[in-house]
Structures are given as C-alpha cells and as structure tokens.
A and B are shown apart, each in its own frame.
Chain A
Amino acid sequence: MSPEAHRKLRAAIVDDEDLARQVLREYLAPHTDIEIVAECANGFEAVKVVAELKPDLAFLDIQMPKLDGFEVLQLLDPAPAIIFVTAHDNFAIRAFEVHAVDYLLKPVAADRFEAALARVKERLERLPEHRSLHGSSHGSSAADLAASARPPSEYVDRIPVRDGTSVVIIPVAKLDYVEAQDDYVALVSQGKKHLKQQTISSIEAALDPSRFLRIHRSYIVNLERVVRLEPYAKDSYVAVLADRVQLPVSRAGYSRLRGFLDR
C-alpha cells in the first residue's frame, strides 16, 4: 500500500442547519481515518474554506443561504470528492451529472452513509491524486459541469464568481457580455471583468438563448445591450454596446444577430 492510503482523509461539512451537521459528525466519529477540517453554515463560507483548506471530501447540502450546493461546486476548482446531503430527491440526476460521488437523502441512514464513505475511499484509492480527476486538462472540470448542469428548460438567473476567497454574484440581467480567454471566461458586468474557470460553451448552455447570443467563437452578448451593428471590414461586423464597447461578430454570429435585431 502506498503511504498515501494511510494518510487521513480530510473532510468538510457544509450545511446551514446545526443539527444536520451534528448527524454527519456523529456518523464520522468512529472513522478514525477521517478528520473533519471544517464545518460551514453557508455557501460563501464553504467556498472560502474549501479554497483555503483543500479537503479531500465535502458533504454538501443543496439548499443553503447565499449559494446553493451546485453554485458552491462551480466555484471549487480543484473540487474535492462531493457527497450531497439533502432532503430533496429531485436534484439527484443533476448531482451525478456533476460527478458527485454520492447523493444522501435526509434523514440520513447510517448504512447509506457508510456505503457513501466506502465509495469515496474507493474512488480516492483508485486515483490517489484524485484532484487530477477534475483537472481541467482531463476534459470537463467539475466546476464546468456544475455550471452547466441545471434542470431542463430552466436557465440560470445568476452566476457566482470567485474572487480569491470571496464570492461575487452576477445577476444575468447585469451581465453585458462574456469573453473567452484560454481556460477562463471573462464575465463583464457594469464595466467590471470577472474571471471564471469555465468554458464559453458551458456558459452559453446555461444562459437563456432568447436573451444571450453567441456572436463569435469567443463572445456571448446580452442582446439588450446591443445598440447597433456596424460594418468593420469587408464581410465583417462589430456589435456596438450601450457603453460604446465594440465586440467582433463572426459571419454565423451576424446572421443570428440580424435575426434578433430585425424582430
């Protein structure tokens, strides 16, 4: 066995209810190979603590103040192994879409809890450096998946962004445009740029297509902000926004945008 297997697993518990955290604490107590490094009572705290302490495992409630469980996961990169713990059974599909290790329903049964822990250990042993599982070099990151996983026919109404250890929430109504920058996207809102590790395609999928349009390989624009289209060079155009910002428009983007502006 590698020495890593004997290393204690570091766990964080995220739930806004004291008693709900208490159950998990109690269930974890006999597991001497697991250490609880943090308990958080809301989403903001969870993002901060996980970014600082980088636990191996996080128990995550879904409905919490400030940020819900999925929004928290979007902001964790690299993400720990996640076990969702919630009273709602309707988020299960979404949970597995974002590669959660398990999904526990409240009230949590002890044997289900043990099974979930076993799955975590198995996964971490199989991939000792488990963080590479979610690393952005290996396809979609957990953050990316969490950002685009949503109930069908519903689009996000806000986008959380991490700035160091604090969290900024951008309501989509205040989002002017999105620009792709390598592994990141820059979300521009009220003149400020916020970087987020996510692909532009997954942002595009999460935004309401009747309000946001991909006008270029690297740009998504809030249609309400577009004032006019101007020819730029032969066969190419720029979209001029209310604050005079100019965004390049590809040929495919131009015909899509024309369709919207003509309406």
Chain B
Amino acid sequence: MHPILGQFRRMVLYLVAWIPLAALLAFLMTATRAIGLREALALAFPLCFIYAFVCLSAWYPCRVTPLEHTNLAKFVATHLSGAVVATALWVLAGRLLADELAETSSFRGLDHLYTAEIPLLIGTGILFYLLSVAFYYILLGIEASRDAEARVLQASMLAREAELRALKAQVNPHFLFNSLNSISALTGSDPSKAREMCILLGDFLRRTLGLGEKSAIPLREELSLIHAFLAVEKIRFGPRLQMEESVDPQTLGVNVPPLLLQPLVENAVAHGIANLVDGGCIRLSVAFRDGDLSIVVENTFDPEAPLRRRNGVGLANVRQRLEARYGNRAKFGAGANGTSFRVAMEFPAEQEAIAS
C-alpha cells in the first residue's frame, strides 16, 4: 500500500510540502539570469506539481530494495536509474510546457530560454528524486520499528496469557472430585485416614492458591507442593503409585516459576500411573548442569492406553512459560521411549535473593 497515494489528507500535505521546493527551483532559475522571475514561477510551479507525482513512484523501488538486505551496487544502480528516468521525464515535460507557454503572447520566446535551464533541471530533478527516496526509506524505517514494537507487545501479551492459563489450569477439577470420592470412601472404613486426606488436600490447595501471585519461588517450595499433591494421590492409588526422587540439595534455593513441575507430576499420575493396572513409578531428578538447573520428570506409562484428553496441554503450558521467561536460554523436551515417558528441561539457575 502506498503510504501517500492512498490517503487524501496525506496527499494534500505532500503537495503542500512541494511548494517551497517549487519556490526554490524558481529562485535558482532566475539565478541563471536567462529568464525573469515571472517566467521562472510559471515554469517551476507546474513542473514541481508534475514532479511531485513522478516522485511518488520512488516508493516502489524503495520497498523492493530494503536497506538492510540489499548490497550497495544494486542499491545505487536501482535508485540512480530511477532518478535518471524520472529526470528525463521531467525535462521532457518542461520542454512541452515551455513550448506551450511560448505560444501565448505573454511568454513569447520561452521555448528558447528554457534550453538554458535544462542543466539546472537535471540537477534538481536528480536531487529531488533522491530526496524522495530518502523520505520513503525513513517512512519504511518508522513502519518497521512500529511493527517490531507491536510484535514485542504481542509476545509479552502471549507470555502473560500463557502464564494465566497455566495458573488457571493448575488444579485439575477431576483430581479434586476423585480425591473427594476417596475421602467419602474412607469416612466409612477408616475415619482417621479420611481426616488425614482432608488435611493433605487442604494443605495442597492452600499452597496452590498462595503461589498464584508470585513470579518465582524457591525450588524447595515447589517440591513440597508436589509432595502434598502426591501424598493425596498416594491414598487414592495406594501401592500403584511409587515415587523416586534424586534432588541435589544445593538446588533447593534456586528460584523457579511457581507451579512449573506440579502439572508435570499431575500428568505423570493421570496419563501414566492411572492407566497401569499394577501402577508404576514417577522419577524426579534435579541437578545443576553447566550452571543451569536441569530437571527431569520420568514416569512409566502404557503406550496402548486409551487416549485421554487434556493430554499435552500441561506440557505445552510448561514449555510456553519457560520460553516466555527465559527465551532461548531454556531447553525443553518431552517424549516417550518404550514404556517410559520423559520430560527434561534446563534453564538458568536464578539464586534466591538473600534478603527475602
């Protein structure tokens, strides 16, 4: 879309901007002393009006030869040839205009006088054309920076959205319903166990809700949230749910986004353990690797299990949150290998602030 041609207001402003240029041209013409001010004005204003339109065309070569992706030779060749063609047209238009004016009584002889102005017209023609080229490149630059700004804004909005979605998706209602059903079973057979499960569930929920507003928590808090979650699930699944943990104690103080690991462990239960008749094991390992924090969540699963929905939402969420927060400094991978599903991630280890 042409930035000027398409809009009436801009077009008027653009033509007004040419008035001083026309005045300048007229002044330069009189400087040759070949013609007087009257003749100069009669030639300069119509000619500049025409040239204003000719120069509009400079937009198209500018757009197809972007500054940052074009080599100098091509750049110079493109715009010089544009300038030469535009100037040739202009000089020709001037010739015709001068001949027309010479027909009238007041400008008799202008056609001969015009010839003296041709070198000046060639000089200003090329200059004006190149000025418009520069003007269009400035416009393109402004447009590009505005685009970049919009993209940055959009990216940060997406990141915020992913974050919100992640937090909203945290407590899976089915986990709650199933836990409540287990409690309901225990009230009859084992009331003290039922009470214990209520307390564990309450503990888990309180921690989850409290973490929502924070942007980062020490790893030890995230781990204790996971422990509360697994303690509830352990009552539900009994010996089917096994857990193995190997956590480097030095990593416990590292800051991590809240509720980053919980959805992964929840997935491991819902898509792994819950589909196995004899249950399985969830392995969590946390260590430092080249100054980054490396976390692996692994679980056994049945590759032939009936498909469950929600699958992948949790994973995509974790990936997005890591990307939003650490950009390309975070690595994330997930995949199945036989009967084992493994999620591995690495991201910069931000130490807990000493003051807090």
Q: A26-B185, A157-B307 are in contact. Are A66 and B302 (CB under 8 A)?
A: yes
Residues of chain A within 8 A of B168, CB atoms compared: none
- The yes or no answer to A165 lying at the interface (CB within 8 A) is no
Chain A: residues with Cβ within 8 Å of the partner, total of 27
A21 to chain B, nearest CB (A): 8
0/1 interface trace, chain B 303-327, chain A, CB 8 Å (1 if under): 0111110000000000000000000
Query: What residues of chain B lie closer than 8 Å to A66, measured between beta carbons?
Result: 275, 277, 302, 304-306
Contact B306–A67 (Cβ < 8 Å) = yes
Within 8 Å by CB of A20, from B185, B275, B306, B307, lies B185
A-B contact number at CB 8 A = 71
> How distant is A179 from chain B, measured CB to nearest CB, in Å?
25
**Interchain CA distance A16-B275 in the complex, whole Å:** 9
> Smallest Cβ distance from B303 to chain A, in angstroms?
10
**A107-B183 in contact (CB<8A):** yes
Compute how far the CA of A88 lies from the CA of B181 in the bound complex, rounded to whole angstroms. 12
For A20, the chain B residues whose CB sits under 8 A away are 178, 181-182, 185
| Complexed CA–CA distance, A97 and B277 (Å) | 28
Residue of B nearest to A42 (CB): B277
A106-B179 Cα distance, complex, nearest whole Å: 9
- The interface residues of chain B, by DSSP majority, are classed as helix
Asked if residues A169 and B237 are in contact (CB atoms below 8 Å), the reply is: no
- Cβ < 8 Å to A, chain B residues 92-112: none
Say whether B306 contacts A18, CB under 8 Å: no
Q: Across the interface, which residues of A come within 8 angstroms of B307, CB to CB?
A: 157
For residue B205, CB closer than 8 A to chain A, the reply is no
CB-CB under 8 A from A64, the residues of chain B are: 306
For the complex, what is the distance from the CA of A199 to the CA of B89, rounded to whole Å?
80
> Which residue of B has the minimal Cβ distance to A27?
B188
Q: How far is the CA of A65 from the CA of B180 in the complex (A)?
A: 21
> B249-285: which residues lie under 8 A (CB-CB) from chain A?
274-277
Residues of A within 8 A of B (CB): 16-20, 22-23, 26, 41-43, 63-68, 71, 87-88, 105-108, 157-158, 169
12 sampled A-B residue pairs with Cβ under 8 A: A16-B274, A17-B181, A17-B236, A18-B238, A22-B189, A26-B185, A26-B189, A88-B174, A107-B177, A107-B181, A158-B304, A169-B304
| Extra pairs beyond A19-B182, A88-B174, A108-B181 (11, CB < 8 Å) | A22-B188, A23-B185, A26-B185, A63-B274, A66-B275, A66-B302, A87-B174, A87-B178, A107-B180, A107-B181, A158-B304
Which 8 residue pairs spanning A and B have beta carbons closest together? A87-B177, A106-B181, A19-B185, A107-B181, A68-B306, A107-B180, A23-B185, A19-B182
